[in-house]
Structure 1
């Protein structure tokens, strides 16, 4: 696929306006939805390479805002260390992963994330085991990230299970997403997927995502976030099912 063709660039821009809108309304979903929609056009690895710049910019901003950066680093460092280790381990096998297998795993990851969102299962992490569970979840998240480009499973359920207050939770997710994005970029570079050719599509994706987030803030005042959230997870479930079925049929 020629990433510099007008039709592909227009499609990428449209996708990122949409995912930016989603993030603007419910505060999450940009990398997950983007990987899923781009996966309809290209391999998950190539989609993840395009996602790196917009994901890194938005996540650094989210990680820097909140006033609890040092506290969260001190508390969640086992999770972050696990992410780096898991991503590194996964990167050693990324170059051997076929496109069909990667698409299947991407579809299954989206299905799992959507079901967790729809069922709304709440986990509670025991404080005395927070570090060890976080380390294991970080390793698992790193492996899943390399395989699919999605870095929400099982990291997001784990962080939600810490039951932080809202401001800390948002900042904690921003820091974790930043670690995952940087680690994924290194893995993609190792696999030869993160090349200069994805820079222009990535910059277009960044601008489109910021426009979408602005539109999302406008939509936020006209629709109930819970209604939008329900539609988001149903759509994600259908997208994941489509990708998984396409990979096996």
Structure 2
């Protein structure tokens, strides 16, 4: 009983904190959840748990603005690449032993944390989106399939398109929604979606939404840039810990 209670508290606390981060800065729920859960379980198990709360919170983010159709028209080549890449790479997170999978997750978090701290000023010309979108989507999808983290390089790429703030928030929600669905499909194809994991993932919606609501209130009082600094620095430390554990 104590083990069950500990597991419930760990999963609930993880999604509460991950939701709070997303509520403050608009992203980070799946990344934080994968990183923290990856300290206690195999990455493939963590990926299965994050599916439902990630889908619900990102659909919420996607539908919060008026630009859905325009973004679909503009970003569909990238999104198609995400789906193809995720399905191609999902066998890695399912089939890999714990050490390499944990190390890969750690590397993904370190890269994302470093990019977030560096804040590179990238700009992709509209004419280049024809080839850059599918390429970025395919790489993002492969990383998603291999690690359960679907932010690299999609987030820097979307930030380089010159979108308005509300458009960017919606575009991130769209990209993360497609990535979540593609990851679910990849895990299902390889038999990694169990009834228990699906049920736990469903229950994790509650703390995730509570965390988002708390984060939304905190955003009005906290300094978002300072919060982002701590967030990305924390990802560096968390990723380093996972790399160390994977190689131990």
CA-CA distance at 1:48 after TM superposition: 0.7
Please name the residue that 1:174 is paired with: 173
Unaligned residue ranges in structure 1 (runs of 5+): none
Maintained 8 Å contact 1:76/1:131: no
CA distance in 2, matches of 1:119, 1:139: 24
Deviations 1:72-117 (A, max 9, x none): 1111111011011111211344443222111101000000000001
Deviations 1:148-203 (A, max 9, x none): 10000011111111010011111111111111000000111122221111133212
User: TM-score, normalised to structure 1's length?
Assistant: 0.95
Runs of 4+ more than 2 Å apart: 91-96
CA RMSD of aligned residues (A): 1.4
Determine helix, strand or coil for the equivalent of 1:91. helix
CA distance in 2, matches of 1:17, 1:134: 33
Please name the residue that 1:90 is paired with: 89
CA-CA distance at 1:64 after TM superposition: 1.7
Please name the residue that 2:124 is paired with: 125
Maintained 8 Å contact 2:90/2:144: no
CA distance in 2, matches of 1:233, 1:244: 16
Maintained 8 Å contact 1:79/1:131: no
Deviations 1:93-151 (A, max 9, x none): 44432221111010000000000011111211121111210100111011100111000
Q: How has the CA–CA distance of structure 1 residues 243 and 62 changed in structure 2, closer, same or farther, with 3 Å as cutoff? A: same
Aligned pair count?
Answer: 247
Maintained 8 Å contact 2:122/2:160: yes
